[in-house]
């Protein structure tokens, strides 16, 4: 009897402004055409925002209906918004792919409970850099940026050791390190 391939879900976590979306988008471009990887497009109750993360934008009622219909692989709430990964994640994992998703630090426990083959990649950068970056990004107002900087992370479940990628220097360096980590995970 042959066993089905099982992929790996890469959970990209870290505080706001650290560069998660930048590294994910950069790695997506660097690895374009390599069928081993699948980059998840999240569903968020935030209006579509050109120039930022390319997410699927849902109204709150649409989000609730999709959740009730079982269309999400994982969902969580943060910053007054609802976020989800689509159920297509399950198909990509069944096909043996390395699936990359940006999730809340508070959703790691639930992700691990559902998907035992997870790797946690934590992106890091000092708070002063994050503050500058969020101001430059300009997606949130001053109060929202202050709340994001003050937001507490979650303690990772016991025994879970994240791979930490420092994004304190250039975005190009952070992207190269992240893409290299993904290639290593795919080769394991």
Ligand X SMILES: Nc1ncnc2c1ncn2[C@@H]1O[C@H](COP(=O)(O)OP(=O)(O)O)[C@@H](O)[C@H]1O
Annotated binding site for ATP: 14-21
Backbone angles phi, psi at 7, to 5 degrees: -85, -170
Question: Are the CB atoms for 12 and 101 separated by under 8 Å?
Answer: yes
Task: Give the residue from 84, 83, 113, 100 showing the smallest Cα distance to 31.
Answer: 100
Min dist CB 29 to ligand PRP, Å, is 18
Q: Is 148 in the site for ligand PRP (CB under 6 A)?
A: yes
Contact flag: residue 151 with ligand PRP (CB under 6 A): yes
The CB-of-107 to ligand X minimum distance in angstroms stands at: 15
Number of residues that bind ligand PRP (CB under 6 A): 18
In the chain, where does DSSP find H-type helix? 20-30, 60-68, 88-94, 108-114, 127-137, 142-150, 171-187
CB of 23 to ligand X, least distance (A): 7
Other Cβ atoms closer than 10 A to 172: 9
Q: Which positions lie near ligand X, rule CB under 6 A?
A: 14, 16-22, 133, 136-137, 167, 170-171, 174
Using CB under 6 A as the binding rule, the residues of this chain from 65 to 104 that contact ligand PRP are 78-79, 83, 102-104
Q: Which residues bind ligand PRP (CB under 6 A)?
A: 13, 15-17, 20-21, 53, 78-79, 83, 102-106, 148, 151, 153
């Amino acid at each position: 009897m042959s066993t089905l391939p099982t992929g790996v879900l890469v959970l990209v976590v870290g505080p706001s402004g650290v560069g998660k979306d930048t590294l994910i988008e950069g790695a997506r471009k660097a690895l374009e055409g390599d069928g081993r990887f699948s980059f998840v497009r999240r569903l968020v109750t935030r209006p579509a925002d050109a120039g930022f993360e390319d997410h699927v934008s849902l109204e709150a009622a649409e989000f609730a209906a999709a959740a009730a219909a079982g269309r999400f692989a994982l969902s969580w709430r943060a910053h007054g918004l609802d976020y989800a990964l689509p159920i297509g994640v399950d198909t990509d994992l069944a096909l043996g792919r390395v699936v990359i998703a940006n999730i809340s630090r508070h959703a790691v426990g639930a992700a691990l409970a559902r998907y035992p083959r997870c790797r946690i990649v934590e992106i890091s950068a000092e708070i002063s850099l994050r503050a500058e970056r969020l101001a430059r990004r300009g997606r949130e107002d001053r109060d929202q940026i202050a709340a994001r900087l003050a937001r507490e992370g979650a303690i990772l479940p016991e025994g879970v050791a994240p791979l930490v990628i420092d994004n304190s220097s250039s975005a190009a360096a952070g992207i190269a390190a992240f893409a290299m980590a993904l290639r290593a995970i795919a080769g394991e």
